Structure 1
Amino acid sequence: MSSGSSSWSRALTQISPYTFAAVGIAISIGVSVLGAAWGIFITGSSLIGAAIKAPRITSKNLISVIFCEAVAIYGVIVAIILQTKLESVPKSLIHHPDSLRAGYAIFSSGIIVGFANLVCGLCVGIIGSSCALSDAQNSNLFVKILVIEIFGSALGLFGVIVGIIMSAQATWPA
């Protein structure tokens, strides 16, 4: 066995599983909020620009901003769920395989949810931007593009579902 793989495996087993769990929870909420903010930025700037031509679009196109905000809420919900998965174990069982599995499960769940919501926020933001610009030109396009935006926001829910399924593996030793 090479010393490179040995040092990596040693590092991954010697770092506390609570550290991995905490980082996963932080990524879940932090990257989800980043995705929501990025989507709101994209949608909001187009909405304000298009509202100059057609002020009537402002109120009904705020739904695109709400879809982006839902992405942040998904991250908060999963972070709360992951936080409830943390359990205290005796110091002698910190590096037990079940503890490591639980820490890695929470970590990977947070990664999946965070990055799924980052991409979802971008997707919803771009579609929301297109919705605002299209609605300013032709009001008949609003509902058609809104349906596409709903499908885009479902991507975030898929990330939440996968994250919850993955977090079910987080069982700490008794």
Structure 2
Amino acid sequence: MSYGTCQSSFCNQGWSDVLTHMSPYGYANFGIAFGLGLSVVGAAWGIWLTGSSLVGASVKAPRIISKNLISVIFCEATAIYGVIMAIILANKVKKPEEATSSLGDDWDYAGYYYAGYGMFSSGLSVGLTNIASGVSVGIAGSSCAVGDAQDSSLFVKILIVEIFASALGIFGIIVGIIQSNACTFPITALE
């Protein structure tokens, strides 16, 4: 038996077959996972960028530690946006009341896939936006810590830039909520 060749029929299928034959509930749950997971990654990345510069700059000016912690809070907000969106999306996933293993033609397949794809795109939109928000807040927070260590009058000016960077996450969750509004899984068969 050679490991380079596959004898099963599954090996002849490509990724397009896997993606087109996946359950709409799978897409919905992947949307929830991507929304939450990528938001946490964005927050962690931003905290890492801000925190490392804050610790380095506080060696020269220990006075900056307490007031520059607000930059870490802005980064953490991106993770909270992901949690909020995950809760909204998880509440939209409903088990069909009359589900059986062999669904007949009276089921609204299009409604299921519409809801699944919509929740997937909603979660992915929120997650990717929050990665961008976390990184941009982290870079602005890093600049805020270093600038504040040099000249304390720069703190408020750079903090305003950081607030605008944090607005990316708010825009992302607004878009995600708008996308998910129409995503409702049918819970009964078509009449």
Same fold, judged at TM 0.5 (above): yes
Unaligned runs of 5+ residues in structure 1 are 1-6
- Cα RMSD of the aligned pairs, angstroms, is 1.8
Seen in structure 2, the aligned counterparts of structure 1 residues 9 and 38 have a Cα distance that, compared at 3 Å, is closer
Change (3 A) 1:41 1:9: closer
Shift of 1:88: 1.2
1:14 aligned residue: 21
- Residue 121 of structure 2: aligned partner: 108
Work out which of the residue numbers 118, 140, 146 in structure 1 matches 2:153. 140
List structure 1 segments (4+ residues) > 6 angstroms apart after TM superposition. Answer: none
- Find the structure with the greater CA-based Rg: 2
3-state SS, counterpart of residue 59 of structure 2: helix
Deviation of residue 149 (structure 1)? 0.4
Quick check: 1:28 aligned with 2:28? no
Query: Aligned residues: percent identity?
Result: 60
1:169 deviates by 1.8
User: How far does the alpha carbon of each residue in 1:42-65 deviate from its partner, in whole angstroms, 9 at most, with x for none?
Assistant: 000000000000000000000000
Query: What does residue range 1-174 of structure 1 map to in structure 2 within 5 Å?
Result: 11-89=18-96, 90-91=99-100, 92=103, 96-173=109-186, 174=188
What TM-score does the superposition give when structure 2 sets the normalisation length?
Answer: 0.84
Cα deviation, residue 171, structure 1: 1.7
What do residues 100-137 of structure 1 show as CA deviations (whole Å, max 9, x unaligned)?
A: 00001110000000000001000000000000000000
TM-score using structure 1 length:
0.92
For residue 86 of structure 1, what is the amino acid of its counterpart?
V
Give the paired residue count. Answer: 169
SS in 2 for 1:78: helix
Task: Specify the SS of the correspondent of 1:135.
Answer: helix
* 2:179 maps to amino acid: M
* Greater per-residue helix proportion: 1
Shift of the alpha carbon at 1:14? 2.5
Equivalent in the alignment of 1:3: none
Q: Distance in 1 between matches of 2:15 and 2:60?
A: 58
- How far apart in 2 are the matches of 1:165 and 1:34? 23
